[in-house]
A and B are shown apart, each in its own frame.
Chain A
Amino acid sequence: MTRARRLRLRVFRVIVLVLAGAFFLVPIGAMLEFSTRGNHVGAPRTLEAWTTIVTYPDLLGAIRDSLGLAAITSVAMVVLLLPTMIWVRLRLPRLKRTIEFLCLLPLTIPAIVLVVGLSPVYRWMAINLVDTIFLLSFAYVILVLPFAYRALDAGLSAIDVKTLSEAARSLGAGWGTVMFRVIAPNMSSALLNACLLSVALVLGEFTFANLLSYLNLQVEIFQLGQANAGTSIAVAVASLLFAFILLVILSFVGRARVAPERAGLPFPGLAGGGQR
């Protein structure tokens, strides 16, 4: 590379990264600024919006419920998806395309459309089973499928599933042991990746909860925003930073074991789709 070109490239990179940084950090900074505003023009900055978070029992309940939903969805996703994917790899390779297509489908069918179709199912469940917000996990597992599948697939591709399972089986292990004590620990970073993506998605989910009349974190932020803008923005910033820290931790943990990404147009990357 010639010196002139290297310089041009460097200038280009600096400009683009600075502009991007500004564009993405300014709104977050603005949220912090808005949430610390005083009551009228010229009033001093105050943390009142933040301290009143604990005085809203609905808000605390919504935070607790959303975290619970995130945990349940992650576990349910692993229990549903991991054995299926391993089984397909070992015994039903012809089904791989179908599974991949089914996991891509939730991206194609907009969440708003799914809600229209799911509301009779949910009404049935609320009346005949238990009526609790945690029923939302059923729908959330579906929403998480595209990203979880991608993450788990990357993890499974990096290890030799066939050999591992045959070795374990030949030593007398049952399928449960094979899946959860042999294969899973070898793809721990991929599992962690999938779980954290699920958590990020569930914490940011609004459409389903709103239209099925459940009070999760985003719905509560929305309703609170109609009465007290400052506090709801404070909570919004907090939840965003929480999700960001989770994913940063992910990127530093288990870096070594993840297989290099295949070039070419992959699934929609790590996240995206669904909850906008």
Chain B
Amino acid sequence: MNRHFGLRRLGILGGALILLTACGSSSAASTSAASAKSAADMGGMDALIAAAKKEGTLNVIALPPDWANYGVTITAFQTKYGIHVNSAAPNDSSQQEVDAIGTLAGTTRAPDVVDVGMAVALKNVDRFAPYQVATWNDIAASSKEPTGLWVQDYSGAMAVGYDSSKVPAITSIQDLLGSAFQSKVALPGNALGSNQAVNSIMEVSLNNGGSLDDISKGVDFFKQLKSKGNWVNVIGTTATVKEGTTPVLFEWDYNSQVHVKDVSTWKLFLPANPVVAAYAQAINKGAPHPAAARLWEEYLYSNAGQNEFLRGGAHPIRMAAMTAAGSVDAAAAAKLPPVKGTPVFMSDDQAAAANAYLKDNWSKAMG
């Protein structure tokens, strides 16, 4: 009896050991992807593609299909590599993206990659893994973190979109305080976490006596807007524009121009010297699908991916290099919305300061 018992125990132990080593070896394979800093680390692009295909899935977050043509990009990626893309929470803000990394950590639903505004990227570098894409050298040093913890992918200018059949033509930001704009003006995100919203407020600030270091004039303007009854407390999306709930909406120019297909009378107002800003890609350090995440970045920064951004109306980060090499989509480039004057952008410190100010004061001003 004893001997049988001992043998059985040994058998179970052996089985467990085999199982553990099997698990160990498979995780060893994926840790090599998780620690790869470039395609070369993985043994070349083909090895990366093979590893990504083996993972089979990619989790992305906060990528609305009509945002800089992300819908087309995602479909193209899926078709090219046969990797299924789970696109979660399309209307989440940059802050909510990094929050999701935290709350879903350890699960298979955690986002593999995020596309966030600069302020959020800078504040959360400890969540990201460094990676340098194949086209690394085409990107200016000021547009990337030296080891590749975050890399900018596209940029655009802040515009005010409006339905010209519902409101008069806008010639300046101050027009929005007029009586014709009762219950019409909205922001495209939550000021406490959306990069788009923060830049909207900064643009207003610049046109209301503020500066890149001072976003308070923007907050004051919105407070005035609310007291006049011109403010709509609904986050503007494609659907609200179509319904008519938000006939005046601050948005990146590449987002705003998409609404023309839903509302034929939709027009854009671009103030002189507009605020521009870029978004940055980053890979989740604890990504459940590390190889697929890296392949996604490779795709976005390839000519195909960058041209998709261009076709969506955004300014791809490799524009200069691609134009020089002749690989840019010339027709799409010609259709980019024109920019009046000299665009300005918040430096990293200014972005951080603006966010800090809003976190302390926005709720107090707007409720």
**A131-B107 contact in complex given A213-B100, A226-B237, A227-B90, C-beta closer than 8 Å:** yes
A227 adjacent to B104 (CB under 8 Å)? no
Whether, in the assembled complex, B24 has its beta carbon less than 8 Å from a beta carbon of chain A, the answer is no
Whether, in the assembled complex, A18 has its beta carbon less than 8 Å from a beta carbon of chain B, the answer is no
B65 adjacent to A227 (CB under 8 Å)? yes
Q: Which residue of B lies closest to A124 (CB)?
A: B106
Closest-CB distance, A63 to chain B (whole angstroms) = 17
**Selected contact of B91 from candidates A213, A215, A223, A229, CB within 8 Å:** A223
**A215-B237 contact in complex given A40-B264, A123-B103, A127-B107, C-beta closer than 8 Å:** no
A residues contacting the other copy or chain, number (CB 8 A): 15
A225 adjacent to B109 (CB under 8 Å)? no
A213 adjacent to B237 (CB under 8 Å)? no
Instruction: How many A-B residue pairs have C-beta atoms within 8 angstroms? Tell me.
Output: 44
Closest-CB distance, B98 to chain A (whole angstroms) = 13
Q: Provide the residues of chain B in CB contact with A228, threshold 8 Å.
A: 238-239
Q: Which residue of A lies closest to B102 (CB)?
A: A123
Closest-CB distance, A194 to chain B (whole angstroms) = 32
Whether, in the assembled complex, A19 has its beta carbon less than 8 Å from a beta carbon of chain B, the answer is no
A126 adjacent to B91 (CB under 8 Å)? no
Q: Provide the residues of chain A in CB contact with B227, threshold 8 Å.
A: none
B239 adjacent to A213 (CB under 8 Å)? no
Q: Provide the residues of chain B in CB contact with A40, threshold 8 Å.
A: 264
A213 adjacent to B109 (CB under 8 Å)? yes
Alpha-carbon distance A126/B107, docked complex (angstroms): 6
Q: Provide the residues of chain B in CB contact with A226, threshold 8 Å.
A: 64, 90-91, 237-240
Alpha-carbon distance A39/B264, docked complex (angstroms): 10
Whether, in the assembled complex, B138 has its beta carbon less than 8 Å from a beta carbon of chain A, the answer is no
Q: Provide the residues of chain A in CB contact with B105, threshold 8 Å.
A: 127
Closest-CB distance, A14 to chain B (whole angstroms) = 36
Q: Which residue of B lies closest to A210 (CB)?
A: B89
Q: Provide the residues of chain A in CB contact with B88, threshold 8 Å.
A: 213, 215
Q: Provide the residues of chain A in CB contact with B349, threshold 8 Å.
A: none
Closest-CB distance, B10 to chain A (whole angstroms) = 28
A229 adjacent to B109 (CB under 8 Å)? no
Q: Provide the residues of chain B in CB contact with A229, threshold 8 Å.
A: 239, 242-243
Q: Provide the residues of chain B in CB contact with A213, threshold 8 Å.
A: 88-89, 100, 103-104, 109
Alpha-carbon distance A229/B241, docked complex (angstroms): 10
B239 adjacent to A223 (CB under 8 Å)? no
B-contact 0/1 string along A224-264, CB 8 Å cutoff? 01111100000000000000000000000000000000000
Whether, in the assembled complex, B75 has its beta carbon less than 8 Å from a beta carbon of chain A, the answer is no
Alpha-carbon distance A123/B107, docked complex (angstroms): 9
**Selected contact of A119 from candidates B65, B103, B107, B262, CB within 8 Å:** B103
A131 adjacent to B103 (CB under 8 Å)? no
Q: Provide the residues of chain A in CB contact with B243, threshold 8 Å.
A: 229
A39, A126, A225 pick with most chain B CB within 10 angstroms: A126
A127, A213, A228 pick with most chain B CB within 10 angstroms: A213
Alpha-carbon distance A227/B255, docked complex (angstroms): 13
Q: Provide the residues of chain B in CB contact with A39, threshold 8 Å.
A: 262
Alpha-carbon distance A123/B64, docked complex (angstroms): 26
Closest-CB distance, A120 to chain B (whole angstroms) = 10
B-contact 0/1 string along A204-227, CB 8 Å cutoff? 000000000101000000010111
Alpha-carbon distance A123/B237, docked complex (angstroms): 30
Alpha-carbon distance A126/B110, docked complex (angstroms): 11
Alpha-carbon distance A40/B163, docked complex (angstroms): 13
Q: Provide the residues of chain A in CB contact with B237, threshold 8 Å.
A: 226-227
Whether, in the assembled complex, B108 has its beta carbon less than 8 Å from a beta carbon of chain A, the answer is yes
Q: Provide the residues of chain A in CB contact with B239, threshold 8 Å.
A: 225-229
Closest-CB distance, B255 to chain A (whole angstroms) = 13
A223 adjacent to B108 (CB under 8 Å)? no
Alpha-carbon distance A131/B243, docked complex (angstroms): 37
Q: Which residue of A lies closest to B96 (CB)?
A: A213
Closest-CB distance, A71 to chain B (whole angstroms) = 22
Alpha-carbon distance A226/B262, docked complex (angstroms): 14
Closest-CB distance, A42 to chain B (whole angstroms) = 12
Q: Provide the residues of chain A in CB contact with B106, threshold 8 Å.
A: 123, 126-127
A223 adjacent to B89 (CB under 8 Å)? yes
Alpha-carbon distance A40/B263, docked complex (angstroms): 7
Q: Provide the residues of chain B in CB contact with A223, threshold 8 Å.
A: 89-91
Closest-CB distance, A233 to chain B (whole angstroms) = 10
> Could you write out 30 A-B pairs with CB less than 8 Å apart?
A39-B262, A40-B264, A119-B103, A123-B103, A127-B106, A131-B107, A131-B109, A213-B88, A213-B89, A213-B103, A213-B104, A213-B109, A223-B89, A223-B91, A225-B239, A226-B64, A226-B237, A226-B238, A226-B239, A226-B240, A227-B64, A227-B65, A227-B66, A227-B90, A227-B238, A227-B239, A228-B239, A229-B239, A229-B242, A229-B243
Interface residues of A (CB under 8 A from B): 39-40, 119, 123, 126-127, 131, 213, 215, 223, 225-229
Interface residues of B (CB under 8 A from A): 64-66, 88-91, 100, 103-109, 237-240, 242-243, 262, 264
Further 20 A-B residue pairs, CB within 8 A, beyond A127-B107, A131-B107: A39-B262, A40-B264, A126-B104, A126-B107, A127-B105, A131-B108, A213-B89, A213-B100, A213-B103, A213-B104, A213-B109, A215-B88, A225-B239, A226-B90, A226-B237, A227-B237, A227-B238, A228-B238, A228-B239, A229-B242
